[in-house]
Amino acid sequence: MSCCRKVAIALSGGVDSAVAAALLQRRGLNLQGVHLRLSPLAAPPDRVEALAHYLEIPLTVLDLQPEFAREVLDYFGSEYARGRTPNPCVRCNAAIKFGHLWEYLKKSGVTHLATGHYARRNLDDHDAPGLFRGVDRRKDQSYFLSRLPLSLLPNLLFPLGQMTKEEVRRISRAAGLPVREDQRESMELCFIPAGGYQDFLKARRGIEGSPGDFVDPRGRLLGRHRGVENYTVGQRRGLGIPAREPFYVIEIQPESNRVVLGHREELLSPGLTASRLNWLIHPPAGEIEAVAVIRYRHPGVRARITPRGDGSVQVAFETPQSAVAPGQAVAFYDGDRVLGGGWIEARIK
């Protein structure tokens, strides 16, 4: 770790980033803390300041609320209005935490950025840095990091990548770190208050969704919906359509203001198309095989990924998958290594 001349640790106030900071401090690194102020709903930085004081490291509180509003909140609202299912955590990591924050830190002479993510940055067989799953598969967050720039990997540290959540909690208690263990997880919607995302969309966009038709895959009318932004692909609850066999949202058509409903088997798809690929390896020139993960907690499915020459790919699953949602992120894995990821544009029917 002698190469890490000046390390910044992103501190949220939760147990994960606190333990990551404590572990780095034990290594004798030149360590400083940085806390991002992203939302008016965020807790005041008192706990982070107390932690930095306890660890005896300097702390910077960086206000990125305008950037977060523009690049995450506006994106979140516009994606729902387009009938897509956004993934604000993937977006925030790439644009804010490893985007604006890193640019700020570089200017102050920081050489490495550390976070409390459950992921690993290891060297591959050719001594090139790669992104890998965290050892604790229940907490692994590599999916959310699939859009990190490849050029940034040498400058990242993930101290918790080799640890389980139980080990992290034990270290926190043994060290007496002044943190709350009930802090919201980083993969939760930190900007959504009690009431749900629909209320947030109404408040932010200032408009109510336009009611439209529920139809089946053949276009037959089934009922009326409350606005396309209130639904996501795979949704079963809250549809209000009585039936012997449950209906699911299988497609959202904002251009015609229709929500297509079908039964469970109609959610299955043999593949998808994805755009704006971000590769964490040398971009493949032709078809490759990998495991595709189409949402957080998805177990993954073997697939053939075919580049299409315009920064997009076509993904053919080995077995059909349920609830492929346009707007979500897809990440590709070779074993534990993250090869890259993109944004799902459409499911193949």
Q: Residue 154 — φ and ψ, nearest 5°?
A: -65, -15
Token output for 105: 């830190």
Distance, in Å, from the CA atom of 309 to the CA atom of 307, rounded to the nearest integer, reads: 6
Residues with Cβ within 8 Å of 82's Cβ and at least 6 positions away in sequence, in order, are 254, 327
Distance, in Å, from the CA atom of 165 to the CA atom of 145, rounded to the nearest integer, reads: 18
Q: Name the residue among 163, 258, 175 with its Cα closest to residue 213.
A: 258
Distance, in Å, from the CA atom of 185 to the CA atom of 12, rounded to the nearest integer, reads: 10
Residue 4: active-site member: no
Distance, in Å, from the CA atom of 333 to the CA atom of 341, rounded to the nearest integer, reads: 9
The 3-state secondary structure of the chain, one letter per residue? CCCCCCEEEECCCEHHHHHHHHHHHHCCCCEEEEEEECCCCCCCCHHHHHHHHHHCCCEEEEECHHHHHHHHHHHHHHHHHCCCCCCHHHHHHHHHHHHHHHHHHHHCCCCEEECCCCEEEEECCCCCEEEEECCCCCCCCHHHHCCCCHHHHHHEECCCCCCCHHHHHHHHHHHCCCCECCCCCCCCCCCCCCCCHHHHHHHHHCCCCCCEEEECCCCCEEEEECCHHHCCCCCCCCCCCCCCCCCEEEEEECCCCEEEEECHHHHEEEEEEEEEEEECCCCCCCCEEEEEECCCCCCCEEEEEEECCCCCEEEEEEEEEECCCCCCEEEEEECCEEEEEEEEEEEEC
For the sheet containing 212-215, what is the strand order?
A: 221-225, 212-215, 258-262, 248-253
Residue 122: burial class (beta carbons within 10 Å; 0-12, 13-18, 19+): middle
In the numeric block, the tokens 């102020």 are attached to: 37
Partners of 331 in beta bridges: 293, 341
Distance, in Å, from the CA atom of 257 to the CA atom of 226, rounded to the nearest integer, reads: 10
pLDDT (0 to 100) of residue 125: 79
Distance of CA 244 to the CA centre of its chain: 36
In the numeric block, the tokens 């998958």 are attached to: 321
Residue 190: active-site member: yes
Token output for 3: 């190469």
pLDDT (0 to 100) of residue 1: 47
Q: Which of 3, 4, 89, 92 is catalytic?
A: 92
pLDDT in tens, the chain (349 residues): 445 689 999 999 899 999 999 999 999 999 999 999 998 777 678 889 999 999 999 999 999 999 999 999 999 989 998 899 999 999 999 999 999 999 999 999 999 999 999 999 998 878 889 999 999 999 999 999 999 999 999 999 999 999 999 999 999 999 999 987 666 565 557 777 665 777 788 777 665 678 999 999 999 999 999 999 889 999 999 999 988 999 999 999 999 999 999 999 999 999 999 999 999 999 999 999 999 999 999 999 999 999 998 889 999 999 999 999 999 999 999 999 999 999 999 999 9
- Its pTM stands at 0.92
Q: Residue 13 — φ and ψ, nearest 5°?
A: 105, -10
- Which domains can be identified in the chain, with CATH numbers? 7-175 (3.40.50.620), 208-262 (2.30.30.280), 267-348 (2.40.30.10)
pLDDT (0 to 100) of residue 284: 94
Is the separation of the CB atoms in 141 and 271 below 8 Å? no
For 206-227, b/e burial (b = at least 16 CB within 10 A) is: eeebeebbbbbeeeeebeebbb
Residues with Cβ within 8 Å of 208's Cβ and at least 6 positions away in sequence, in order, are 202, 227
Q: Which of 3, 4, 89, 190 is catalytic?
A: 190
